[in-house]
Amino acid sequence: MSIRVQLSCKHKVIAEGIAAVLRTHADIHLVGVSDEDLGTKILCELERPEVVVVGVDPRRSDDVALTRWVSQLTPRPEIVAFSTDCDRGSVLQMMQAGATSFVSTQSSMDELLQAIRAAGAGRSYLCPSAGAVMMDSLRRGRVAAPGAGQLGEREEQVLCLIADGYSSKEIARNLQIAPSTVEVHRRNIMRKVGLHKVADLTRYAIRNQMVRV
């Protein structure tokens, strides 16, 4: 079954190029393309896409506001943000606004396709540049998060790596623990915070500032 995808990008040349590639993939159904905010909102309400790919400049308040608006739709689509800016502040700002995946415009088209497919499956995705930024934040430490005190130290580490888009095997390798132990921590985290989708766990970690900017 194909993923219903909507593309929003203010740069027409970029939008047309991405759209042309997306239309060649059988597992992706491009329901619409818009180069301005109002058109994006109208398309979202008419087409109810599963994934919205948004070209953003985190320094522009209207791009952040559009991302936040899309994230509040019901049913809620997954949001893949792609941007020229890939610093800690930009990545975290877009994820706080509701994006669950982030891809740099320096990434390949294959990276964007991976992000779309991950989003369609309810998973978060960070391109290598954004992932490195988030890992750096994790190494620098975290600030206490409202509601996060119920999680143990290891559970917080696992949650942050989940938010970074790491699989259970990758988390196990990073933390030098067994994959089965990661799964136990994952189940405990979901039970404690009352969330059961990776995308929701990602939003929880980012919005509760479990990664320091």
Q: With DSSP H G I counted as helix, E B as strand and the rest as coil, what are the percentages for the chain, rounded to 5?
A: 55, 15, 30
Domains along the sequence of the chain with CATH: 3-130 (3.40.50.2300), 141-207 (1.10.10.10)
81/101 Cα distance (integer angstroms): 6
pLDDT tens-digit map of 139-157? 665 444 444 457 788 888 8
pLDDT (0 to 100) of residue 139: 62
pLDDT (0 to 100) of residue 188: 87
Residue range 38-58: mean pLDDT, rounded:
94
Residue range 55-81: mean pLDDT, rounded:
90
144/212 Cα distance (integer angstroms): 9
108/151 Cα distance (integer angstroms): 37
Token duo for residue 60? 């522009």
CA neighbor of 88 nearest in space, from 131, 46, 57, 56 = 131
Q: Indicate the average pLDDT of the chain.
A: 86
CA distances from 119 to 12, 60, 126 (A): 23, 24, 11
Helix (H, G, I), strand (E, B) or coil at 55: strand
Q: Looking at the predicted structure, is the pLDDT value of residue 164 above 80? A: no
pLDDT tens-digit map of 4-45? 999 999 999 999 999 999 999 999 999 999 999 999 999 999
**Torsion angle of alpha carbons 87, 92, 97, 101, nearest 10°?**
80
Neighbours of 207 (CB within 10 A): 15
